[in-house]
Structure 1
Amino acid sequence: MIRFAFAGRCSTEDLQDPEASRNWQLTRARALIEPAGGQIVAAYFDVGHSRSLPWQRRPRANELLQDLRDPNRGFDAVVVGEPQRTFYGNQFGNTFPVFVHFRIPLWVPEVGGPIDPGNEAHDLVMSVFGGMSKGERNRIKIRVRTAMSSQAQLQRIHKLELDPAAAPVVQRIFTMYVDGMSHSAIAAQLTREGIPCPSAHDATRNPHRKKTAWQQGAVRAILLNPRYTGGHEVWNKQRKEERLLDADDVTLGHRTVEFCARQDAFSLA
């Protein structure tokens, strides 16, 4: 019997269910190794980590790299379920030499078995899948942004309707604020009068928030909401950009930075 460690990854950026993703990757891996007498005895599966992160920055993948160095690691080879989930861009070229150094075969379904370090075709195949992985992630990002933009464009032809229960409360909050009351004082007054707070008024949209009292943060959010202050919905206010972690060592990958970008606003009136 050949003892295998399974390596895989799933993130929420492509809306995959982690358990379902893990199961189908395991199924592909087992279909490859079991005819050769292989059995998976260990699993290294990262959940919620982008494929763009190098192995050293994925917790479970990095743990696997460290275990390769252990003579008592408990497995003889490593198998992946899908290279596009496991390797991104040039990650294969930066990672596979470690497997070769410690004499641990790496099995991949698309190769039909272990990767031959001296086989140029195998190296080319893995490079292609790394590029495909990068392209797939870019397509996911484009689809998400395009869908959001489309939603914003559709909102241009619709008007928001007032909530008959919430509208008078919002108007009163603005009146109390203009009269000089602080956020905390407004929250305390509304709570004393038994007026339902936002999480109590619409529990389905706020399942994680307290429903017993008004919070000054809720009052502040209402006062700053552009829907109430300017009649505009703001889309694309927060953007994410990937920047190199270290410009002198691109193998460390990128870090995601959030920043305020151009604001696309449209009237609700």
Structure 2
Amino acid sequence: MTFAFYGRVSTEDHQDAEASRQWQLGRAQSLIEPAGGTIAAEYFDIGATRALPWKRRPHAADLLAALAHPQRGFDAVVIGEPQRAFYGAQFGNTFPLFTHYGVPLWVPEVGGPIDADNETHDLIMSVFGGMSKGERNRIKVRVHAAMAAQALTEGRYLGGRPPYGYRLRDLGPHPNPAKAADGKRLYGLDPDPATAPVVVRIFTEYLRGLGVFAIAED
């Protein structure tokens, strides 16, 4: 059998895309090689968050389009890491296309092709979709908590245009050696001499009883 390999990596947390591709591809090859399978095509999305449905990931969308063509160049699809491929209920929304076009989908977690009539296989893939969603949510919570702590305890400004009334202040090289080597620096916020008095005036007038529209008009 010839296979198309699908994988995905997000670059949000500075993952090495090639290293991620290699280990996912390695898992896929370890699964199909004992059955005499070879990989004839690769579809690998870089920088596409797992929350995006397959039709909105460039290479996943190409793979879905290829399923419909009899001369697609492969007999089955293999995925090295289902948590990278499926998020939440995506498996239940995507797998029927594989079944419709008669293209088997192989994953290491079931030891071969997914059986559409096997409730255990369906449960396993649903669990991995839920785990993928939970992992993403945990990362999001950790990142937000770390950013809030850095802003509170270190006085950092974590990016973007400074709010009106402030200007950026250079706090020196980034504490992460790798980022410092790339020239990244830390920034804080200082009141802007030109615009900070306007902010003070806005708050003062509000406390005096003026409404938002009157302050803006003034």
Q: Is the TM value for this pair above 0.5? A: yes
Q: Residue in 2 aligned with 1:29?
A: 28
How big is the shift at 1:228? 4.2
What code does the residue aligned with 2:55 have? Answer: Q
TM-score (norm 2): 0.73
Q: Residue in 2 aligned with 1:166?
A: none
What code does the residue aligned with 2:52 have? Answer: L
Q: 1 CA distance for matches of 2:184 and 2:100?
A: 53
SS in 2 for 1:72: coil
What code does the residue aligned with 2:48 have? Answer: H
Q: Check whether the contact 1:10–1:16 (CA below 8 A) recurs between aligned residues.
A: yes
Q: 1 CA distance for matches of 2:14 and 2:83?
A: 16
Q: 1 CA distance for matches of 2:72 and 2:117?
A: 25
Match of 1:227 among 190, 196, 201: 190
Q: 1 CA distance for matches of 2:25 and 2:18?
A: 11
State the identity as a percent: 65
1:61 and 2:60 are equivalent in the alignment: yes
Q: Residue in 1 aligned with 2:3?
A: 4
How big is the shift at 1:153? 2.2
How big is the shift at 1:14? 3.7
How big is the shift at 1:150? 1.6
Q: 2 CA distance for matches of 1:92 and 1:205?
A: 40
The within-5 A match list for 1:118-197 is: 118-155=117-154
What code does the residue aligned with 1:94 have? Answer: N
Q: Which runs of 5+ in 2 are unaligned?
A: 157-167, 169-181, 194-218
Q: 2 CA distance for matches of 1:205 and 1:129?
A: 37
Change (3 A) 1:14 1:136: farther
Q: Check whether the contact 1:14–1:140 (CA below 8 A) recurs between aligned residues.
A: no
Give CA deviations for 1:214-255 in whole Å, capped at 9, x if unaligned: xxxxxxxxxxx941427xxxxxxxxxxxxxxxxxxxxxxxxx
My pick for the range that moved more, 92-101 or 138-147, is 138-147
SS in 2 for 1:110: helix
Q: Over aligned residue pairs, what C-alpha RMSD do you find?
A: 2.0
SS in 2 for 1:43: strand
SS in 1 for 2:34: helix
Match of 1:204 among 183, 206, 214: 183
Give CA deviations for 1:11-58 in whole Å, capped at 9, x if unaligned: 112432111110000000000000000001100000001000000000
What code does the residue aligned with 1:143 have? Answer: R
Q: Residue in 1 aligned with 2:163?
A: none
Q: Residue in 2 aligned with 1:101?
A: 100
SS in 2 for 1:51: coil
Q: 1 CA distance for matches of 2:184 and 2:118?
A: 55
Q: Aligned residue pairs: how many?
A: 167
My pick for the range that moved more, 13-22 or 52-61, is 13-22
Q: 1 CA distance for matches of 2:184 and 2:54?
A: 37
The within-5 A match list for 1:63-78 is: 63-78=62-77
What code does the residue aligned with 1:227 have? Answer: D
1:87 and 2:89 are equivalent in the alignment: no
SS in 1 for 2:109: coil
Give CA deviations for 1:153-198 in whole Å, capped at 9, x if unaligned: 2225x9xxxxxxxxxxx9xxxxxxxxxxxxxxxxxxxxxxxxxxxx
Q: 2 CA distance for matches of 1:122 and 1:114?
A: 9
Q: Check whether the contact 1:32–1:109 (CA below 8 A) recurs between aligned residues.
A: yes
Q: Residue in 2 aligned with 1:180?
A: none
What code does the residue aligned with 2:111 have? Answer: G
Q: Residue in 1 aligned with 2:212?
A: none
TM-score (norm 1): 0.59
